[in-house]
Chains A and B, each alone.
Chain A
Amino acid sequence: MANQQPNSGNPRVDIEYRRKKSAEEMKHQVITFAMMIFLTIVAFVAAGYEGFSAWFIVPFILILAVVQVIFQLYYFMHMSHKGHEAPALFLYSGALVGFITIIAFLTVIWW
């Protein structure tokens, strides 16, 4: 029993496979983490630079924010793994409803 994964009750877990998987995932997380810091710096620079107009900066930062949310969800909160179909469905549905609401407010009320 000593060679089994300590946090899994399943004796059929292949320890070698798990270790490889974990290492790979760790690599992804480190890369993503570095990229998120990089994107944050880019956002700060974009906001601080005098040469860009607000019409460029606001959508640009919003796009960076969306990318960061996707990184967060898929690499740190494990939505890329199996068994997350239902949460993903509801997450996207909620995002869609929120998006439509904002679009409608922007176009119908305030435009």
Chain B
Amino acid sequence: MSTLAQKKGFGATLWDYLTTVDHKKIAILYLIAGGFFFLLGGLEAMFIRIQLAVPNNDFVSAGLYNEILTMHGTTMIFLAAMPLIFAFMNAVMPLQIGARDVAFPFLNSLGFWLFFFGGVFLNLSWFLGGAPDAGWTSYASLSIASEGHGIDFYALGLQISGAGTLIGGINFLVTIINMRAPGMTYMRMPMFTWATFVTSALILFAFPALTVGLFLLIFDRMFGSNFFDPAMGGNTIIWEHFFWIFGHPEVYILVLPAFGIFSEIFAIFSRKRLFGYSSMVFATVLIGFLGFMVWAHHMFTTGMGPIANAIFAVATMAIAVPTGIKIFNWLFTMWGGSITFTTPMLWAVAFIPSFVAGGVTGVMLASAAQDYQYHDSYFVVAHFHYVIVGGVVFALFAGAHLYWPKMFGTMLNEFLGKITFVLFFIGFHLTFFIQHFLGLWGMPRRIFTFLPGQGLETANFVSTVGAFFMAAAVIVLLINVVITTVKNEKVGNDPWGDGRTLEWAIPSPPPFYNFKQLPLVRGLDAYWLEKMEGKQGMSPAEPLGDIHMPNNSFIPFVISFGLFVAAFGAMYRADYSWGIPVLIVGMLITLGSMFVRSIKDDHGYHIHKEDLEDNNDKGVKA
């Protein structure tokens, strides 16, 4: 028993995290890695805005600007937003459904390390001859023509991290289907769990399209095939379709968990049940379904013809309906509620107008005929930053403040949190609102500079000023994290006082086995129900017994490392003689460690009942 509470040295802690299969520690790994890439992507954003602050600027060259722009988009979507979303899913979802871990703890760890090595591989391109420079969409004709190894880094790195994401998504699906606590029916699942469920299904169906597209790109660039080369009988449009069949669901993969986090926040800080719970579930599923029917609205100007354009335009506008249902449900949740404006609630309240603004421009862009005017202008840039920053990034900040106590056992400082909010909110609208007008005045996106005297100077300068506000907000958040960690004032089970779902019924951070006894769920907002009946905690659904736990494993790290090595081999195969051997060695590392995993029996271990009994403040109260 006491071994668990021992103070560990740095090396032991590091080894613990390298080998962990605990969903809570993997969540922290996702948070740290995703946070790091978020800072990297933010830095790239600052370079973009500095370059565009004044006309004819030469802060960066045109080629380097293309690389920075590409890496900003790629990093923010694949390496920052998704992992940070995964951090909260990992940290919270198993607790919300009353599970002791995800269904496949080993795969959970494998998913993280694949993402991590893919991300590191992608970013090593900066030091090895130049980053990818064909935009985050990497349209085929441009990316096939791109010289150097930038696009190779993009294709191989995303392939590796994409595999990790797919593994993570399947893992969450199986967890939610099979591991809900007794009494937790589908229609009693918290909204964040529902969002995780639908998101994971979207990952399952959307990522294969990206995988196929990336493989075709890899073969075209590295192994001499001609899938995208019209001169050789290929078709360059195929890439665009594959990319957007993945890419459009991807934006819902990002924003649905954001909706989930906000749904939790509105209910907690309005001290009310979420208004229209079942319609929220319906809307979430419907958004997920429609998300697969609309990808070609990114390609209105490729010449698909009026019929295809019309179909995809109407399907796209239809998505505004379930989204509108959600917006009204959030408003009605707040209506008549006893609202407290904590930091997460501020983000949530600010999210509604910001996101609606992004949604309105989305409907404008969805109209195919109008889209010919907006296409490839800053109007589009403004639109997707309003939905992704105003939706997803707001949710990540809100979620960080809301779930910080559950993940680390300490509360982030509320005063600093509100300063972060104010700075970021002002900066966000300052940066992106004016970009709508820049687009309408004719500024194309993805240009590295503009000329003076065309009426674009003031607006671009304003936009750059806004970016510095956002940077300041992030710095305040980092200071907040450091202060909170140094102070290390531990909090109890339910630090916000109004927690509704199961995660608030157990200690912060939860013990490594989460629930001493699985809780009995008697309705939606299970913990709130018990509190309203004057109980201290959840009723247990099972007698105290031995708990089966998985062993830590270093194998996921090695499997991912093998692919990382193999990717270098594949990329340099044509340039150097060591390419092929390195490719083979890398694959041998991966396949060998998978083989070891297959033949080695690892049955895990048991926490014995006696060890659980003498420890009264952990787990569910009996």
Contact = CB atoms under 8 A, between A and B. Distances in A.
Determine the main DSSP class of A at the interface with B: helix
Contacts of B177: 86
Interface residues of A, number: 13
Interface stretch (A31-39, A74-82, A101-109): A101-109
A90 B204 contact: yes
Contacts of A94: 204-205
Residue of A104, A105, A108, A109 with most chain B CB atoms under a 10 A cut-off: A108
B274 interface: no
Interface stretch (B234-242, B276-284, B469-477, B579-587): B234-242
Contacts of A109: 235, 237-238, 241
B485 to A, nearest CB: 41
A108 B296 contact: yes
A108 B304 CA distance: 6
Contact of A108 (B173, B241, B293): B241
A97 B241 contact: no
B245 A101 contact: yes
Interface string B15-58: 00000000000000000000000000000000000000000000
B292 A100 contact: yes
B291 to A, nearest CB: 10
A93 interface: yes
B241 A93 contact: no
Interface in B264-320: 292-293, 296, 304-305, 308
Contacts, number: 30
Interface in B198-230: 201, 204-205, 209
Contacts of A100: 292-293
B204 A101 contact: no
Given A101-B209, A108-B241, A109-B237, A90 B308 contact: no
B241 A105 contact: yes
Nearest to B299: A108
A97 B296 contact: no
A109 B296 CA distance: 11
B489 to A, nearest CB: 43
Contacts of A97: 205, 292
Given A107-B308, A108-B241, A109-B241, A90 B201 contact: yes
Given A90-B204, A93-B201, A94-B205, 10 more contacts: A94-B204, A97-B292, A100-B292, A100-B293, A101-B241, A104-B241, A105-B241, A107-B308, A108-B305, A109-B237
Interface of A: 86, 90, 93-94, 97, 100-101, 104-105, 107-110
27 contacts: A86-B177, A90-B173, A90-B201, A90-B204, A93-B201, A94-B204, A94-B205, A97-B205, A97-B292, A100-B292, A100-B293, A101-B241, A101-B245, A104-B241, A104-B296, A105-B238, A105-B241, A107-B308, A108-B241, A108-B296, A108-B304, A108-B305, A108-B308, A109-B235, A109-B237, A109-B241, A110-B235
Interface of B: 173, 177, 201, 204-205, 209, 235, 237-238, 241, 245, 292-293, 296, 304-305, 308
